[in-house]
Amino acid sequence: MGMKTTFVVQTFVVKRKRLVPGDREVAPTESGALKKAKAMSGRMPGTAALKVVADDETGELESATILASFGEVPEDFAESLQGG
């Protein structure tokens, strides 16, 4: 059982006057995710850079951490990452 760390940029878009998750993009490094999230925030309502740790074999989520967020991000986004 090996743990794999992935860095992801989550975008947020407005649909029907609500802020909802948009596309996700994988970044090669933590700093890459932060730079990409910041750059994308100029053309999106909001973005977040995430660090996701999961079991490489089963895909089971170990943890998901918000490294930084830019612009508008739903208030319950952090809770939703933990399955709450």
Each residue's pLDDT, cut to its tens digit, for the chain (84 residues) gives 689 999 999 999 999 999 999 999 999 999 999 999 999 999 999 999 999 999 989 988 899 999 999 999 998 888 888 664
pLDDT for the residue 59? 83
Beta bridge partners of 69: 48
Q: Are 10 and 66 in contact (CB under 8 A)?
A: no
Residue 84 is predicted with a pLDDT of 45
Nearest to 61 by CA among 77, 69, 50, 70: 50
Q: Which amino acid type is present at position 79?
A: E
* pLDDT for 75: 86
In order, the DSSP letters of the chain are: --EEEEEEEEEEEEETTEEEEEEEEEESSHHHHHHHHHHHTTTSSEEEEEEEEEETTT--EEEEEEEEEEE---TTHHHHHTT-
